[in-house]
């Protein structure tokens, strides 16, 4: 399916029939990613005591009906917004854009903090996604104003798709990197790491707060200072809710375009 879009006065040809699926497939019976010591995501046939129903055709049931247990923030691709940090609940799907977004892909090598940092201070051995790396990866000429950024850390090993991050500290954003993304108008951030902050950061969530526009310690949604509610999708291996092998209702895709 071919489409032509006009973005910032430029005409773009898009093949909508050949999207690239960004979401991580979650296999309940196979290897899975894991973060923060979370248990595996699991699935089992739903049963109703007293009615004799078992939700497994393989086990004699009339249909397949499963009970799924998972922690989206720790078991796979997930999307979060300011409601991740506030008392008021704000579902990411309510603020995430429904249409196509112009995005920039940035491939970076996480590096020692150097003159960049965050709060709390990075620990020895930590690797950061720095402002310097993002600036070097940012295309010199972008034919449109990007509203989304996809950050891919290098090396880009396939084993990311089932990596257990529990015993390690994954790369995370420096506060300078978060501020750069805000200054360039990025509202929707996609990363291949579990979180844009250090896994154990004393609850500071510095990069989250900078990107969402929430002052330090603020837990009220009204305190958010950015005009729109930004989103962050994590554990995207190259963002929306988790894509499950047996339940594919919510998926995130990207399409490539050519400038005319």
Beta strand pairing call for 10-15 and 257-259 = antiparallel
Tokens 């501020």 -> residue: 179
CA distances for 197 relative to 93, 102, 174, angstroms = 22, 25, 8
Phi and psi at 103, nearest 5°, equal -135, 155
**Does residue 125 carry a pLDDT above 90?**
yes
Q: With beta carbons less than 8 A apart as the criterion, state whether 124 and 140 touch.
A: no
Beta strand pairing call for 25-26 and 53-54 = unpaired
pTM value is: 0.88
Q: What is the mean pLDDT of residues 91-97?
A: 88
How many C-alpha atoms does 5 have within 13 Å on its Cβ side? 18
Q: Give the chain's mean pLDDT.
A: 89
Tokens 């979401």 -> residue: 23
Enumerate the β-bridge partners of residue 68: 43
CA nearest to 35, candidates 135, 179, 170? 170
Highest mean pLDDT: which range of 15-29, 131-145, 177-191: 177-191
Using CA of residue 133, residue 34, residue 168, residue 157, what is the dihedral sign?
negative
**Does residue 256 carry a pLDDT above 80?**
no
Percent of the chain with pLDDT over 90: 69
**Does residue 259 carry a pLDDT above 60?**
no
- pLDDT at position 154 is 94
**Does residue 253 carry a pLDDT above 90?**
no
Q: Report d(CA 202, CA 248) in Å as an integer.
A: 35
- pLDDT at position 254 is 55
Q: Report d(CA 21, CA 26) in Å as an integer.
A: 13
Q: What is the pLDDT of residues 52-91, one digit of tens each?
A: 899 999 999 999 999 999 999 999 999 999 999 999 999 9
Q: What is the mean pLDDT of residues 16-38?
A: 90
- pLDDT at position 40 is 95
Q: What is the mean pLDDT of residues 210-236?
A: 94
Q: Report d(CA 60, CA 40) in Å as an integer.
A: 26
């Amino acid at each position: 399916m071919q489409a032509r879009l006009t973005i910032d006065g430029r005409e773009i040809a898009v093949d909508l029939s050949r999207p690239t699926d960004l979401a991580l497939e979650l296999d309940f019976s196979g290897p899975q990613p894991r973060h923060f010591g979370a248990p595996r995501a699991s699935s089992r046939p739903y049963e109703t005591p007293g009615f004799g129903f078992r939700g497994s055709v393989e086990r004699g049931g009339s249909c397949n009906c499963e009970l799924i247990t998972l922690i989206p923030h720790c078991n796979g691709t997930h999307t979060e917004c300011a409601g991740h940090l506030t008392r008021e609940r704000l579902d990411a799907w309510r603020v995430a854009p429904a249409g196509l977004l112009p995005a920039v892909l940035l491939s970076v090598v996480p590096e020692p903090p150097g003159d960049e940092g965050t709060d709390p201070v990075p620990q020895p051995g930590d690797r950061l996604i720095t402002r310097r790396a993002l600036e070097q990866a940012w295309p010199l000429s972008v034919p449109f104003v990007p509203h989304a950024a996809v950050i891919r850390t290098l090396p880009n090993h396939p084993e990311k798709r089932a990596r257990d991050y529990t015993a390690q500290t994954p790369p995370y954003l420096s506060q300078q990197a978060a501020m750069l993304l805000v200054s360039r108008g990025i509202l929707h951030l996609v990363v291949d790491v579990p979180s844009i902050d250090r896994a154990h950061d004393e609850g500071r969530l510095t990069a989250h707060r900078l990107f969402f526009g929430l002052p330090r310690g603020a837990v009220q949604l009204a305190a958010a200072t950015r005009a729109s509610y930004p989103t962050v999708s994590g554990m995207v291996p190259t963002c929306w809710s988790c894509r499950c092998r047996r339940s594919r209702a919510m998926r995130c895709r990207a399409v490539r375009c050519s400038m005319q």
